[in-house]
């Protein structure tokens, strides 16, 4: 498997490679309330990945729902993405939305996609090349979706496996939300957690906007059975769960999937 994260130094060394496609996955807002100091700066050669419009299921009642493979394929081709492209993902918060997009490309079958560790803040810190606008001139790509069903889990699957010791749901929300000590940021969404799930807040796998070193990530996941448990990652709406998902990919061999509806779906449809 190709390394799912890339350092800014590594990207700078290959920046001139014509097969590289750099995608900015930043959004205008987030439920964690994080803000960027670099709203108008882009990495040299970056194109914009519109997570909130082009790459979500607009017919779903839940936010951030994965689009169908055809929609994903069409809009990926519009960005000039080929099956052979080396895709580098970043956001302006360091690491936040980019792991979600990494998971999306992986579930759609792309073979070579990495998250830029530290994102735009780390890139600017190192004074690597930037620009003010996105690149808009490129040929249409030939990327073809090849949906990987094992990388996603739905509400019914989780309900059927609540008592299954081989299935573990990991919730990436902060501990106060997980333990119903503070309200959900989404209006009219009840508090709580999925029965038998455990809490690993996404901040626990990061250090100053970058993923922790593998030896430290192993400590975060130390209580997880690394040989027999399938891990299902959840959060509020399927975004920060992907941060913990990607962190686990760096140190664990478990089978993994994402509960895309996450607590927004569970808290709406499932009754106490």
Catalytic residues: 235
φ and ψ at residue 258, rounded to 5 degrees: -115, 135
Q: What angle do CA 157, 158, 163 make, to 5 degrees?
A: 115
Cα–Cα distance for residue pair 206/38, rounded to 1 Å = 20
Q: Are 40 and 148 in contact (CB under 8 A)?
A: no
Find the radius of gyration of the CA atoms of the chain.
Answer: 18
| 214 CB-contact burial (10 Å; exposed 0-12 / middle 13-18 / buried 19+) | exposed
Q: In Å, how far are 13, 84, 105, 135, 250 from 143, measured between CA atoms?
A: 25, 8, 10, 19, 26
> CA-CA distance, 176 to 165, in Å (whole number)?
25
Residues 8, 14, 16, 18: is their CA dihedral positive or negative? negative
């Amino acid at each position: 498997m190709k390394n799912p994260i890339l350092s800014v130094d590594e990207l700078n060394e290959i920046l001139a490679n014509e097969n590289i496609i750099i995608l900015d996955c930043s959004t205008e807002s987030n439920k964690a309330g994080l803000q960027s100091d670099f709203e108008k700066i882009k990495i040299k050669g970056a194109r914009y990945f519109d997570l909130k419009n082009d790459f979500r299921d607009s017919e779903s009642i839940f936010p951030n729902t994965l689009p169908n493979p055809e929609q994903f394929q069409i809009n990926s081709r519009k960005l000039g993405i080929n099956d052979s492209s080396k895709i580098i993902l970043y956001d302006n918060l360091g690491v936040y939305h980019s792991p979600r997009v990494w998971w999306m490309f992986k579930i759609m079958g792309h073979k070579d996609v990495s998250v830029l560790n530290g994102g735009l803040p780390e890139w600017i810190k190192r004074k690597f090349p930037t620009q003010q606008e996105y690149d808009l001139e490129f040929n249409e790509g030939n990327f073809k979706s090849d949906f990987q069903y094992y990388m996603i889990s739905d509400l019914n699957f989780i309900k059927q496996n609540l008592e299954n010791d081989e299935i573990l749901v990991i919730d990436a929300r902060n501990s106060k939300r997980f333990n119903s000590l503070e309200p959900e940021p989404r209006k009219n969404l009840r508090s709580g957690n999925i029965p038998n799930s455990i809490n690993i807040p996404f901040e626990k796998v990061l250090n100053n906007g970058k993923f922790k070193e593998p030896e430290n990530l192993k400590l975060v996941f130390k209580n997880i059975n690394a040989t027999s448990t399938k891990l299902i990652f959840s959060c509020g709406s399927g975004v920060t769960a992907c941060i913990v998902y990607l962190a686990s990919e760096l140190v664990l061999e478990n089978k993994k999937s994402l509960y895309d509806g996450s607590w927004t779906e569970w808290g709406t449809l499932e009754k106490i």
